[in-house]
Structure 1
Amino acid sequence: MNATMRRIVIGTTAVSMAFAVAACGKAGDDDSDSGSGGSDKSIGLLLPDSVTTRYAKFDKPYFDAKVKELCADCKLEYANAAGSAATQAQQVSSMITKGVKVIAISAVDSAAIKSSIQAAVDKGIKVVAYDRLAQGPVSAYISFDNEKVGQLQGQSLLDAMGDKATPKAKVVMINGLASDPNAALFKKGAHSVLDGKVDIAYEQAGDWDDKVAAQKMSAAITQLGAKNIAGVYSANDGMAGGIATVLKGAGISTVPLTGQDAELSSIQRILAGTQASTIYKAYKPEADGAAELAVALLDGKSIDSLAATKLTSGSGDEVPSNLLTPVTLNKDNIEDTVIKDKLYTVAEICTGEFAAACKTAGLQ
């Protein structure tokens, strides 16, 4: 074998190894129903992290079930980026190599994923932006009205503060990951409601991480003083869990705390009185809608009726979109939301220490 041939073999082997690492490494779970081969009816789902409960427990199974309902012979590919934009880029490359025809992706970093999306589209792959509007030539987008989410969070905080919601009342604001476009929309919506009504005295990004959020909350208490904090805005429930632990440790028990995602632990905190509210975004309609878009794009059908709104992404691309309606969830409507929709059962919520609170709230 001459030197040129050796270089070609070595280079090819290195590329193959890189894809293997991307597919099998700890950084992001990666599995599929179709093995390593391509398919004329293969659909991929790429989710952003494993710390947010919803993705593995709800989004993936709902998406998979709906795809199978609409397309019994479709092959499914899946990977989770575990919060790494670099891993997610590798996962897109892996799906391109596998011959996936449509990719639904919830981007870790909406800007960083742009070149990967472009690479997929250049290979004739259709891309659906799921939950987060990624940059690049995506064919469709489905999510909730994320600015509305922030508005509901802000209003629920004011409602919980009651007559303590004054322009001098100090509020701590812990936002999401800066690279997540949804985080900016939640923040914008919350500010539109809170600004001028309370004093946002401390504001930082919690990066969708309970430990980071806890650190920021500790810093806020040090800076402002425990007795001077009148309310806490947390952009999601995962961070609210870390914040609630810090508040308890500091002896702060009556300060209202917001959240988002209606995680089981947040429902229990709401019943216990350590969290005032969360935002319920029904996962099944979102996952079902993404699956419907993916199958329609796979079959070359029009998506006009599935994504009737137009949004402009950060890269300037106009994207057909479907925006669902979020709901504020508090102690008064647990039964009419997550229980009615069979997200959780009363038995799952009302365990041990929460049994008495459930009884008081009428959950039996």
Structure 2
Amino acid sequence: MRTRRWQVVAALLAGLLTMSQAACGGDGKAGSGSFTVGLLLPSRSVPRWEHSDRPLINKRLKELCPRCTMEYANAEDDADRQRQQLTSMITTGVRVLILDAADAKALRSSIIEAHRAGVPVVAYDRLAEGPVSGYVTFDGAQVGRLQGEALLKAMDGRVKSSQVVMLNGDPTSPNAAWFRKGALSVLAGKVSIGRSYDVQGWSTDDAHAQMSAAVAALGPDRIGGVLAANDAIAAGAVSALKRAGVRPLPPVTGQDADLDAVRRIVVGEQYMTVYKPFRAEADAAAAMAVALGRGDDLSKVATTTTDSPTTRRIPSVLLTPRAVTARTIEQTLVKDGVYTVDEICTRALRTACRQAGLAR
């Protein structure tokens, strides 16, 4: 009887194991079938998050794991809200998190919470503190260098006779310091930095206020260029310069290739932007999330490692950004399908587009 009883128990255990493997895709690997990936983005003030990153990540996730689902939340520039969103996703059972932290330091405790719950975190676009499992971004030093080089070229003969205003990104973002360091590696010793401001929340309104303060302090005729960390900041700088009656406008840099910024470049209000092919970044993040969800390491995805203030040798992908001016919009943004000529060239911009070689 005892032998028969053990045979029954063994058969039941074998059946349960088979069912468990089938639920996981049939090979015993955790997550090789269906699971949920949580995506947490930081704000709506920068258009790219909603218009580019979110749909691209979701599309690539479905391609790599057709039965996977994505749960999404936007912090709207509120780190406390993002902490709550992250905790909620852990509670509802997401297997992996892709996180662009609203505040890299403030989210550290939440990332520790995820780690303890067995939920790996992929840091997206900016490196958060804590035990993150992977990191995907663009080379921030190169972003700054592209901006600095473009600004020097645009200023040309005015380098010695005028000053540069630096409108840096949000100080809570490690990327802001990265961009600034890259820009200064080009500008230091070649131009005079008249004023340098940190722009809270990468806010257009705050950038407008800071640029207005710079004009008042330096005078409208002494500003030879504006190093704006991204396109939202550039928008605030341009509006402040126009309101102060600065003519002609000095060259203004940017980043993210927002549609409004591209249109400002066409009409000559902004000199350049930095295009970061979002599809490549989204693809790498989705690939990391799927690998982690299936219990695989990141050796086939990551190309390098990065150290954060809290974690060493994080598997990473650092992508290459590209500078865009009026003359290179077609070879970059239009060619890559980011925008069509018709989207850029509204009726009011037709003449400017023709001069930039865009309108047919």
TM-score (norm: length of structure 2): 0.89
Tell me, in whole angstroms, the C-alpha distance in 1 between the residues paired with 2:34 and 2:149.
Answer: 48
2:183 corresponds to: 190
The residue number in structure 1 matching 2:66 is 72
Aligned-residue offset at 1:251: 2.0
The 5 Å alignment of 1:163-174 reads 163-166=157-160, 169-174=162-167
C-alpha deviation, 1:190, in angstroms: 0.7
- Give the greater-gyration-radius structure (CA): 2
Match for residue 91 of structure 1?
85
Deviation, structure 1 residue 197: 0.5
Q: CA deviation at 1:352?
A: 2.1
Match of 1:312 in 2: 307
TM-superposed deviation, 1:63? 0.3
SS of residue matched to 2:265: helix
**Structure 1 residues 95 and 130 mapped into 2: Cα distance closer, same or farther (>3 Å)?**
same
Matched positions, count: 325
Structure 2 residue ranges without an equivalent (≥5)? 1-32
Q: Can you give the 5+ residue segments of structure 1 that lack an aligned partner in the other structure? A: 1-38
Determine whether 1:110 maps to 2:104. yes
Task: Name the SS for the 2:296 alignment partner.
Answer: coil
**What is the match of residue 218 of structure 1?**
212
Partner of 1:137: 131
Contact 2:34 2:67 in 1 (8 A): no
**Partners of 2:132 and 2:311 within 8 A in 1:** no
What amino acid does structure 1 have at the position aligned with 2:165?
Answer: V
2:346 matches 1:351: yes
Deviation track 1:221-263 (CA, whole Å, cap 9, x = no partner) reads 0100001111111000011111111111222223100000001
Inter-partner Cα distance in structure 1 for 2:335 and 2:206: 33
CA contact (8 A) 2:234 2:254 kept: yes
CA distance in 2, matches of 1:233, 1:301: 42
- The separation in 2 between residues aligned to 1:213 and 1:347, in whole angstroms, is 29
Q: What do you get for the CA RMSD once the two structures are aligned?
A: 1.1
- The CA distance in 1 between the partners of 2:166 and 2:189, in whole Å, is 14
CA–CA distance in structure 2, aligned partners of residues 316 and 324 of structure 1? 21
Q: Counterpart of 1:170 in structure 2: which amino acid?
A: Q
Which amino acid in structure 2 is aligned with residue 49 of structure 1? S
Q: Could you say which residue in structure 1 is the equivalent of 2:172?
A: 179
- Give 1:191's aligned amino acid: L
3-state secondary structure, aligned to 1:321: strand
Q: 1:136·1:317 contact (CA, 8 Å) conserved in 2?
A: no
**Offset of residue 163 of structure 1:** 1.7
Q: CA deviation at 1:40?
A: 5.9
Corresponding position of 2:153: 159
Taking the aligned partners of 1:61 and 1:86, their CA distance within structure 2 comes to 25
Instruction: Check the 8 A contact 2:242/2:249 in 1, yes or no.
Output: no
| 2:5 aligned residue | none
Sequence identity percentage? 46
Structure 1 stretch displaced more, 275-284 or 242-251: 242-251
How far apart are the structure 2 equivalents of 1:254 and 1:115?
45
Residue 9 of structure 1: aligned partner: none
Alpha-carbon shift at residue 301 of structure 1 (Å)? 1.8
* 8 Å contact kept, 1:280–1:327: yes
Report 1:188-337 matches (<5 A). Answer: 188-207=181-200, 208-252=202-246, 253-337=248-332
The answer (yes or no) to whether the contact 1:46–1:79 under 8 Å persists in 2 is yes
Q: What residue is the counterpart of 2:356 in the other structure?
A: 361
Alpha-carbon contact 2:164-2:227 (below 8 Å) kept: yes
**Helix, strand or coil: the match of 1:332?**
helix
User: Are positions 1:58 and 2:52 aligned together?
Assistant: yes
Q: Which amino acid aligns with 1:115?
A: S
CA contact 1:176–1:205 (8 Å) conserved in 2: yes
